[in-house]
A and B are shown apart, each in its own frame.
Chain A
Amino acid sequence: MKLDNIYKEEKKSSFAKLSEIIITMASRPSGLIGLSILVFHIILAFISPYIAPHDFKAIDPTLMLQAPSAEYWFGTDDLGRDVFTRTILGGRTALTITFFGSLIALLWGGLLGIFCGLVGGKIDDVVMRIVDAFLSIPWILAMLLIVSLLGTSTEVLIPALGFFYGKGIVRVARAATHDVIAKDFIVSARARGHSDFSIIWNEIIPNVRDAILVEGAMRWSWMLLGFSSLSFLGFGVSPPTPDWGLMISNARGLMSFAYWAVIAPIVGLSSLIIGINLTADAFAKALGIDRSTKAPV
């Protein structure tokens, strides 16, 4: 029998698959830009403590609100701290907290969604109504309540953010599961007598994984914005730790004459969010989720 060349494709290791996905992502301009921004921010987060030119918490009243100069590239803030140093350090906390936050959101939201989609019936009804009820509570109010009761430590912020951003994932995971669940291979697994756990693990997760991952990546950028809002309101990172949300909040009042103190953190925050969004988009396209055309490519 003739083995055809273009349809031949052997099982690949997961590493090979991942690198193929990344190459596909980078092959589109938007994906390449998004990936570069994201990678840049991640590298920056790792190396910034070593390359920071000044001490981020050194207060010097004599240097208050200096315009950008050769010594202070982005100028100084109202306490005389170097804005450049604080900007490159300002993404670290936000990135860490939201990364782990979205992992938690992904896990509980994804698993609960899959579970509800699979069992259906009354359990599904009850759980989904609870999730709907939570969706109707303004998250920022609820977060403020949690933070004021339990404090703003990382151990509180990560699970709290993870919880609030996971609700939306429940819906996505449930819908994705519903798409798969009616397919005959699930019926077939059921008829063979596989346990619910085995059906979830072997049959459903491989088919909904991509959709949930993309949703999780999107949530990550929203969570970043949410976390920065918390900081902006003074409920995120506590001073003197540098954080973009906090920096924007502090420098906001002085914007009319010391614009440099507010522009740098804004650029930092927006570029990271744009980077994550573009990456998530390219990721979805590389996985073939957002397919506008059905033609063979």
Chain B
Amino acid sequence: MTDIIQKVKNLSIGFRSKKGEEILILKNINTNIKKGETVGIVGESGSGKSTLALAMMGYVKHGLYTIGGECQFNSSNLLKMKSKDLEKIRGRKIAMIPQNAGQALTPNLKIGYQIDEALQLHSDFDEKEREKKISELLNKVRLPSPETIALRYPHELSGGQQQRVAVAMALAGTPDLLLLDEPTTGLDVTTQAHVLELLNFIAKDTGTSMVYVSHDLGAIAQVSDRIIVMYSGEIVLEGPSRDILKSPIHPYTHGLLKSIPKLSLAGLPESMPGSQPQPGTIQSGCSFFDRCNFSDENCKNNSPKLEFLKDLNTSVRCFNYEKLVNASQASQTFNKIKNKSLDKEILNLSEVSISYAKQKLLDQIFNRISDDNPTVKDININIKKGETIALVGESGSGKSTILKSIAGLLRTKDGLIRFDENRNLSSDLKERDPNDLRIIQLIFQNPDESLNPNHTVEEIIAQPLKLYFGLKGEELKKNIIDLLQKVRLGEFYTSRYPRQLSGGEKQRVAVARAFAAKPDIILCDEVTSALDVSVQAAVLNLLQQLKEDFGTTYIFVSHDLAVVRAISDRVAVLYQGRLCEVGPSNDVYKFPSHPYTEVLLGAVLEPDPDIKPKLVAEDIVEERPPEKGCSFQGRCSRILGDICKKEIPPWQLTDSGNAIRCHIPIKELQKEQF
């Protein structure tokens, strides 16, 4: 076959441990990339997907080495090539688009210069032609007014624009193969949808083959023709993208798809037990054995081979795939959440404004904050005991800022935070008494950072217990073990350090620490976004379980709208630090009424090739909220005119209890759905 451009043959990559054991990161990988196709490589962190993608351009990370096999590009093995020869291939034939374009672009060089550099290296154009080519490339990646963009520095562009520049640079050498390593992971939902759409367009337009590496099945579903699913350094499933997403015949993929929250369904997804084994830990049998619902004795002792099924055009590494072939569509069962939210108010934010502006000396002396256009303004939310309220919005919408103020970590400019109907909480930590501090606890996004690396799990959980309840000795130990069991971790975790735990386990420890204080309110700041999908579902289920047991109120911040849909009772949509819409999640998701909510929900990617994101508004990123009028005026596709630019829109109530802040009459808003 001549149309294969990259052939990976028996590839094994690994490293040597301290004890001299050979530990494999990739185990005997065989795959082909055909001309013009887009292959998605999906897997959880540590599955070896990035290592595989890097090997495809002849690069092996420092510390790792090739144990066997080859990566053939144009029938030469990249892994054995001299760096001189590789230079000729990289950029010209195979180009890479990194995850974080902001870090991949040189900060002190103008965009145009950086693209020019790529062109000088990888093409034979003279200066005039290159100049033309630069604006051509910038046009191709749909950056507005290429002439001005070329003169800007990377920091003057938004994340989405930076990613587009990275795509333009990769296209400079007109490569045959594009490798994309999580290119949309750090971007906002709306931006992500736009970038993916661009990539799709480029794949069609240039006929370039693409290898798209991501943990996000939603993104993979939008771009790829074929999907490779990796687990623990092995390919476990490989086949046409539609078949894999619609009827996965490997238990891991099956479980993975089931554990992803969906926009269309309320309630929590089923979780997969356990976590991916660390490299070097499997002795015998299938690597997925202990998490598998379909396993038997055979799986425990023998490792399955990757088997090609002709009629399905799919390769699968499983003894029992037949059970799944007939199981048809991964029917998703959701655990309906039942919340006993009482009518009693537990937290009330009224007229809260927060400003990050640097204060003038005079204001500093009088200890006041003056800012006419604060980052967060006029936040009024009434939170009931036992409910889960979610704050959603893109980055810069002020959702985390509000959480910080509730926790007392950031002073508010104006407004009151009232707890339990009668107690005003100061927004300054130092002015809160210990009990005020105890009732509100935080869980952070990244458990790597929120647990002190030098403390054992026991010391970590002991902190709030000692601080608030003065526990000591046996009683302390008993409480710690109790909490560990509540978060489904055993007693033997007490003496471990955070670095010895997996991401999900770390987050469970963080959850245990928050619950140790017996709080009334827990603030969850993107608690699942640093976790793998299969682990995310388990943590969400745990949070829900604990909430039912303790009657805690959650204030949940997330950019992932499907997660929010799964866990929350009510949603507050924020744009530029102003509330747009507040209402019961069911209504907000079913009938998104505010123009921004529509944009946001339309852009969500679902792991279903049939559901395409709707790109309504441009993905412009606004630096500051507008001085006057509606906060969303700059991007609104349904803008009425002057009224939106001059007057702050009024709150309107729908019949179902949604509060919407828009000038467009409610009837009108509800009518125009897609």
A contact set with B: CB distance below 8 Å = 1-2, 4-11, 183-185, 187-194, 202-203, 206-207, 293-297
Known contacts A7-B500, A202-B463, A207-B454; decide if A192 and B408 are in contact (CB<8 Å): no
Given contacts A2-B277, A184-B444, 20 further A-B contacts (CB under 8 A): A2-B290, A4-B278, A6-B21, A6-B278, A183-B449, A184-B445, A187-B409, A187-B442, A188-B442, A189-B463, A191-B441, A192-B437, A192-B467, A193-B429, A194-B463, A194-B467, A203-B452, A206-B454, A206-B455, A294-B63
Q: In the complex, which residues 417-465 of chain B have their Cβ closer than 8 Å to any Cβ of chain A?
A: 429, 432, 434, 437-438, 440-442, 444-446, 449-456, 463-464
CB neighbours (8 Å) of A190 from chain B are 409, 429
A293-B452 in contact (CB<8A): no
For A180, the closest partner residue in chain B by CB is: B452
Question: With an 8 A cutoff between CB atoms, is B667 at the interface?
Answer: no
| Nearest B residue (CB) for A207 | B454
CA distance in complex: A187, B18 (Å): 35
Let me know if A297 and B409 touch, CB within 8 A: no
CB of A37 to closest CB in B, whole Å = 27
B352 within 8 A of A: no
In the bound complex, residues from chain B placing their C-beta under 8 Å from that of A191 are 407-409, 429, 437, 440-442
Whole-angstrom CA separation of A206 from B498 in the bound complex: 14
B293 within 8 A of A: no
Distance to closest chain B CB from A140 (angstroms): 39
A246–B454 CA distance with the chains assembled, in angstroms:
45
For B298-311 the 0/1 string (1 means CB < 8 A from A) is: 00000000000000
Which B-chain residue is minimally distant from A203 (CB atoms)? B452
Pair B63/A11 contact, Cβ less than 8 Å: no
- Chain A residues near B449: list those with CB within 8 A: 183-185
Query: In the complex the two chains form, what is the Cα distance from A62 to B290 in whole Å?
Result: 88
A9 B497 Cβ-Cβ under 8 A: yes
Which residue, of A5, A8, A188, A296, has the highest number of chain B Cβ atoms within 10 A?
A: A188
Question: With A6-B281, A184-B450, A296-B63 in contact, do A193 and B290 touch (Cβ < 8 Å)?
Answer: no
Q: Which residues of A have CB within 8 Å of B671?
A: none
Q: Report the minimal beta-carbon distance from A23 to chain B, rounded to whole angstroms.
A: 12
| B454 cross-chain contacts in A, Cβ below 8 A | 206-207
Interface assignment of B336: CB less than 8 Å from any CB of chain A:
no
Residue of chain A at shortest CB distance from B440: A191
Residue of A nearest to B430 (CB): A193
Question: Considering only CB atoms, which chain B residue lies closest to A194 in the complex?
Answer: B467
Q: Is B143 interfacial (CB 8 A cutoff)?
A: no
Partner of B500, one of A5, A8, A189, A294: A8
* CA A257 to CA B330, docked complex, whole Å: 94
A interface SS class: loop
Q: Does B657 count as interface, using CB distance less than 8 angstroms? A: no
Distance (whole angstroms) from the CB of A74 to the closest CB of chain B:
45
25 pairs, CB–CB < 8 Å, chain A vs chain B? A2-B281, A4-B277, A4-B280, A6-B19, A6-B280, A7-B500, A9-B497, A11-B495, A183-B449, A185-B450, A185-B452, A191-B407, A191-B408, A191-B437, A191-B440, A192-B468, A192-B517, A193-B432, A207-B452, A207-B453, A295-B15, A295-B62, A295-B64, A296-B17, A296-B63
Evaluate whether A294 and B497 lie within 8 angstroms (CB atoms) in the complex, with A2-B277, A185-B452, A203-B452 already known.
no
- Contact of A11 with B456 in the complex, beta carbons under 8 Å: yes
Minimum distance in angstroms from A21 CB to a CB of chain B: 14
Contacts of A206 in B (CB 8 A): 452, 454-455
Candidate in A2, A185, A190 with the most chain B CB atoms within 10 angstroms: A185
Contact A293 B500 (CB under 8 A): no
Question: Which 7 pairs between the two chains have the least Cβ-Cβ distance?
Answer: A295-B63, A206-B454, A193-B437, A184-B450, A4-B281, A184-B444, A184-B449
Q: Is the CB of B63 within 8 A of A293?
A: yes
Query: Using Cβ atoms and an 8 Å threshold, which residues of chain B touch A297?
Result: 18, 63
Check B88 for interface membership: any CB of A closer than 8 A: no
Q: Is B274 an interface residue (CB 8 A)?
A: yes
Query: Chain B nearest CB: distance from A6 CB in Å?
Result: 6
**When chains A and B are docked, how far (Å) is the Cα of A11 from the Cα of B452?**
15
Most interface-central of B18, B62, B437, B463 (chain A CB within 10 A): B463
- A-side contacts of B19, CB under 8 Å: 6
Contacts of B638 on A, CB cut-off 8 Å? none
CB 8 Å contact bits of B4-48 with A (1 = contact, 0 = none): 000000000001011101010000000000000000000000000
A188 CA / B449 CA spacing, docked (Å): 10
Instruction: Report B227-284 residues with CB < 8 Å from chain A CB.
Output: 274, 277-278, 280-281
Q: List residues of chain B with CB within 8 A of the CB of A10.
A: 495-496
Q: Looking at the complex, which one of A7, A183, A192 makes contact with B464 (CB distance below 8 Å)?
A: A192
Which residues of A are found within 8 Å of B290, using beta-carbon distances? 1-2
In the complex, what distance in Å separates the CA atom of A10 from the CA atom of B500? 9
Chain A residues within 8 Å of B408, by CB: 191
Give min CB distance, A198 to chain B, whole Å: 8
